[in-house]
Amino acid sequence: MAKWFAALRTPVGGFAAALLTLVLALAVFAPILWHDNAFAIDTNAIGQGPSAAHWLGTDDLGRDILFRVLVATRLSVLLAVLATVIGVVTGLVLGTLPSLLPRPAARLVTSAVNIAVAFPGLLLVLFFSVIFGVGTHGAVFAVGFALAPAFARLAQTLSASVAGQDFVSAARISGVGRIRLLLRHILPNIGEPLVVNATIGAGACLLAFSGLSFLGIGVQAPDYDWGRLLGEGLNGIYVNPAAALAPGVAVVLAGLAFNLVGETVAGVIGVRTGLRELAPRPVTPAREDAADVRDDAVLVVENLQVAFPRPAGWTVPVRGVSFTVRAGEAIGVVGESGSGKSLTGLAVSRLVESPAVVTADKLEFAGKPVLTTPERELRGLLGTSLAMVFQDPMTSFNPTRRIGRQLAEVAEQHQGLPRAKAFERAVDRLRAVRIPAAERRARQYPHEFSGGMRQRAMIGMGLMGDPKLIIADEPTTALDVTVQRQLLRLLARTRAERNTAIILISHDIAVVSQTCERMLVMYAGRVVEDLPSAATPRHPYTRALMAATLDLETDREASLAVIPGRPPEPDRVPNGCAFADRCPSATDRCRLEDPALERVGAEHRVACWYPAPLSQPAKETVTAGGAE
């Protein structure tokens, strides 16, 4: 609230608020107070200039110009607001349709919007005026529909930015349908910028409407708005210039009021009023590693690839990942930032959105092919059998909805429970993840929870169904050490009690090796080593990660071991082994040929031409360049 008062105290904010209040007050009271004066014909005072009796002069029927301008405020503002409402609603429908329709239809709608946006607004207004015909109604629709493409683009852009948030992914993975997702999770979070842009759009509508009336294709006699008064005043501009200037000034001031108020509100809530572009393209293939087939697998991934379009071609940040996860198994996925570990987690949950392209020779969850199963069927399966816990506990829940209701939505959707029963179940699950005073907490909003509690509530949301797999992406990064421990214990307990498999994605190899029985080490979009946590790592990268880990045996006097250099950017992965530039054992062969992930033990696979001997302890690894 303090921000709003501060904005009102600025010269622009104060002026905007005062001006808009004046315009709205005139719109309400002027016709009540001065309707008769504005319509009073005086044949003795036809076409007069300003005088004490008529401050702005009279028109060609002797009617007072000032009263007519004041009374015209209501119709001018009302029509502009109506046109804005039509534009915003049509734009919102067109902008959000692509997220509801199948992909070909969505592309069609998006292309139509893109084409419409390319036309100048004035041309669209005139085009629609011809279609809807001369008169007030036709002009309202013409101006409204001309505004719609810009709003459709804005809604598309805003929806796309919110659709990438963790809480939307969480809702999607819990099986919330597209319409519900849109109404409950996306629209409430793009409402503010839309309102701001609508306010600014109302100013533009006012100008457009006045233009149409001025041209004689808007409001028709005996009704009149500022545009019509402007047109009439222009006929006698040499006799009485004030008759043309007064409605013109009114249009400018009212338009200014809407625009300044919109800009002030945008400044307070931090909304950008501009639009940005997105551009889709096709994909190229990458490489493949041997899959490791296991019995009773919950998840089977073979040659998974994720590609993104870029202006210069395709970037493939996940390049042929293969692994399986068995029931009740805990595997850790480790690697530096940009290794593709989080993207792999999102891709197996089908949370990677277009224009990115996900392909795999095999991607099966609980025996169902994830990429080819119809969305409705898959939604039911993922909603009850797969849970996601994201890195940032602040963005994991929809900030506008109570925690209990967000959990209950899963039971309403998948178990068909009535609202009250679903809420009871949500409270029960919050209790199961040790949230104190669960019933009271269920009625609170996400910002009222601590970071650790939000993560536990996220696991509770996963437990609303009967999860076969929990994918936890850096779930402890934002938490302090004590809360980290509690959360990892909770995951371990859930796994033990329900035989739930866990994929723990982390950059912290120490946490992963303590929590999971198996590790996948990823580098530059590939799995470079797949090994039991207790085994001696043999890939130079895994060994370097281990060497850079602090433990109680680390010599505090020695320099901290680091891995020199940086991982390659996804669009600049070299030929041969991607780790060669940082590897102390690299040879010419490494720089020419990319090693496949080969089996070197019963449960151990390595992608390296020269895996380290088992006899060499990992902590003795010295990386090229030593400490930085």
Query: What is the closest distance, in whole angstroms, from the C-beta atom of residue 594 to ligand SF4 in the complex?
Result: 8
Report DSSP state, residue 430. Answer: H
CB nearer ligand SF4, residue 127 or residue 610: 610
Q: Which of 528, 511, 510, 530 minimizes the C-alpha distance to 520?
A: 530
Q: Are strands 362-365 and 297-310 parallel, antiparallel or unpaired?
A: antiparallel
Q: How far is the CB of 562 from ligand SF4 (least distance, A)?
A: 17
Q: Give the shortest CB-589-to-ligand SF4 separation in angstroms.
A: 7
When the beta carbons of 352 and 597 are compared against ligand SF4, the nearer one is 597
CB 323 to ligand SF4: min, Å: 19
Least separation in angstroms between CB 418 and ligand SF4: 57
- Locate all alpha helices (DSSP H) within 375-474, ordered by sequence: 375-385, 403-414, 419-432, 438-442, 451-462
Dihedral angle sign, alpha carbons of residues 626, 531, 351, 305: positive
- Give the nearest distance from C-beta 419 to ligand SF4 in angstroms: 56
As measured in angstroms, the least distance from the Cβ of 572 to ligand SF4 is 17
Angle separating helix axes 403-414 and 375-385, nearest 10 degrees: 130
Shorter beta-carbon distance to ligand SF4: residue 91 or 540: 540
Q: How far is the CB of 612 from ligand SF4 (least distance, A)?
A: 9
- Would you say 227 or 540 has its CB closer to ligand SF4? 540
Half-sphere exposure of 190 (CA within 13 A, CB side): 31
C-beta of 291 vs 596, nearer to ligand SF4:
596
- Among 346, 88, 334, 71, which residue's Cα sits nearest to residue 205? 88
Q: Return the residue matching tokens 């089908």.
A: 350
The H or E element spanning position 310 is strand 297-310
Q: Note the residues at the interface with ligand SF4 (CB under 6 A).
A: 540, 577, 579-580, 583, 585-586, 590, 595, 608-610
Which residue from 627, 185, 568, 198 is spatially nearest to 413, judged by alpha carbons?
185
How far apart, in whole angstroms, are the C-alpha atoms of residue 361 and residue 357? 14
Cβ distance to ligand SF4 smaller for residue 592 or 627: 592
Element (H, E) at 117: helix 103-118
In whole angstroms, give the CA distance from residue 613 to residue 210. Answer: 82
Of residues 386 and 544, the one with the C-beta less far from ligand SF4: 544
- 430 vs 577, beta carbon nearer ligand SF4: 577
